[in-house]
Amino acid sequence: MDIRYPAIMESQEPAGFFIRFLDVEEAFTEGSTREEALQNAAEVLTALLGWRMDQGLEIPQPSQDVKEAFYVAPDAKTQAALLLRFAMERPVGTSRGHQSRKTLSSTRDHAVQQHRPSLRQLEKAAARLGKRLVLSFD
């Protein structure tokens, strides 16, 4: 799963760029250059998703294949917490999957509340869900 959210960038007059997120409507920002606007977007997204986790609010999974969108990722700690959260929310059709979700519950709750699951926690969670953790640089 890729934790990058689609955002639309629009030019502003007389200069600068405005970015709004499609899946997280209250997240928006701007910047004088494209690069600055995208950096600000990552910071805003990270802060807002962290706040939603703190408040126990719903966090939408990122939409895929949105034409003309820029895909923006929150920081690595937030991505890790969301990976665990989304993996636990995903329905699994087997009793083993149900048991795995149940077993991971306390680990996940603690890690998500802290917004910083360790790589070891992520690896264990992935293994119990029949997945494997894959890291990459973008």
**Minimal CA–CA distance to 31: which of 18, 44, 20?**
18
- Residue 71 bridge partners (DSSP): 6
Phi-psi region of 58 (alpha: psi -120 to 50; beta: other; left: phi over 0): beta
Quick: pLDDT tens for 28-37: 999 999 999 9
The total of other beta-carbon atoms located within 10 Å of residue 122's CB is 20
pLDDT category at 135 given cuts 50, 70, 90 is: confident
Percentage of the residues of the chain whose pLDDT score is greater than 70: 81
The total of other beta-carbon atoms located within 10 Å of residue 54's CB is 10
Mean pLDDT across 97-109 = 49
Residue with tokens 């937030």: 78
Residue extents of the structural domains in the chain? 5-72, 76-128
Instruction: Please tell me which residue, 27 or 93, carries the higher pLDDT value.
Output: 27
What are all long-range contacts of 105-114, with beta carbons under 8 Å and residues at least 24 apart?
108/84, 111/80, 111/81, 111/84, 112/53, 112/81, 112/84, 112/85, 113/53, 114/81
CATH class of 5-72: alpha beta
pLDDT category at 93 given cuts 50, 70, 90 is: low
**Minimal CA–CA distance to 74: which of 25, 27, 16?**
27
At residue 90, the pLDDT reads: 64
At residue 98, the pLDDT reads: 52
Quick: pLDDT tens for 25-68: 999 999 999 999 999 999 999 999 999 999 999 999 999 999 99
34 within 8 A of 18, measured Cβ to Cβ = no
